[in-house]
Amino acid sequence: MSGRNDPSALRWLIGVELSAYRKQAGLTLSELATATGITKPKLGHMESGRYQQHPDDIATVLCACGADERTVDRLASLSGRGDSKSWWAPWAHVVPDWFRTFVGLEGLAESEFMYEPTVLPGLLQTEEYARAMTSATALVRQNHNERFVSFRLARARRLLEPESLRLHVVVGEAALRLKVGSDELRKVQYQHLLDLVTRPNITFQVLQPECGPHDAAGAGQFFVLHFAEARPIAYTELLDGAVYVQDPDDVRTYTLTAENLQRVALDPAESVDFVKALMSET
């Protein structure tokens, strides 16, 4: 796990795993309470991640659900990895609650796939581009703009850290052509993209209409996060909230869609050429 441990995200992730193993075993919370001697309310809190889950309780629950020894050790050890403070704490007042969980999970992830059809992902934005994007939305209060931009930049630094996030991005052509700020600002953003994609942990692809049909046609943005010691999750945003996809079969659907997008989109070298062409047009 990354050094960006986030206690609330860790608890949430462990809770998702506990819930999945209980359902896999076909047990209700009441039945699990009887089998473990742990009260039903406490089990509910363990699954929601409301409070920290203790290794002994985790082991008891997983053993009752028939999990193997490796799984028990993996999740019990994971519970002790939370820092005393979330890395995003300085920006807590400008980040919505539903997004805090995501950035916490992103800080814990080993790799991330993201599909953005119409907007350049925040992780890839320059400071000036992020400022222009933030100023253009009514969803961020004007007196929070600078703090929100600094949060985006802090989040993006994960790409440059020693334990860097492995990132695979597919963006729609519209995201790159979106008129944000001045021509010069966009040229600087394009160059920033070209610099980022030289890094071994970043793969960047462009999806054009000419690429043809794909499995995400008609869908919006989505993300798939992969962890070293937990199962992957998918995530998609709404206007005022988010949906976290946890069921393994549903996550598999998002993973297959991500793989389809990677096959259909321009390959990384062609995508670099496309960005260079945009620079010459701007």
For residue 149, what pLDDT is reported?
Answer: 73
Predicted confidence band at 85 (pLDDT cuts at 50, 70, 90)? low
Q: Could you tell me what percent of the chain has a pLDDT over 90?
A: 57
pLDDT band, residue 141 (cuts 50/70/90): very low
Per-residue pLDDT of 150-207, as tens digits, reads 777 778 887 887 778 999 999 999 999 999 999 999 999 999 999 999 999 999 999 9
Residue 105 · residue 158 · CB < 8 Å: no
Q: What mean pLDDT is predicted for residues 258-272?
A: 98
Q: Is the CATH number 3.40.50.300 carried by domain 7-78? A: no
Q: What is the pLDDT of residues 204-257, one digit of tens each?
A: 999 999 999 999 998 899 999 999 888 899 999 887 778 889 888 999 999 999
| Side-chain-side CA neighbours of residue 25 (13 Å) | 20
Q: Is the C-alpha dihedral spanning 193, 199, 201, 206 positive or negative?
A: positive
Report the interhelical angle of 69-78 vs 7-24 (nearest 10°): 160
pLDDT band at 2 (very low <50, low <70, confident <90, very high): very low
Rounded to the nearest 5°, which phi and psi values hold at 6? -125, 115
Strands of the sheet with 222-226, listed across from one edge: 202-207, 166-172, 111-116, 222-226, 233-237, 242-245
What sections of the chain are H helices per DSSP? 7-24, 29-36, 40-48, 55-64, 69-78, 97-108, 127-135, 145-156, 173-177, 183-196, 248-264, 268-281
Q: Which of 126-130, 191-195, 258-262, 273-277 has the lowest mean pLDDT?
A: 126-130
DSSP designation for 266: P
Rounded mean pLDDT, 28-43: 96
User: Cα dist. 167→59, 170, 200 in Å?
Assistant: 33, 10, 10
pLDDT at residue 89 tops 80: no
CATH of 89-281, one of 1.20.1250, 3.40.50, 3.10.450, 3.30.870: 3.30.870
Q: Is the pLDDT of residue 139 over 80?
A: no
Beta carbons of 188 and 223 less than 8 angstroms apart = no
Where do the structural domains in the chain lie, given as residue ranges? 7-78, 89-281
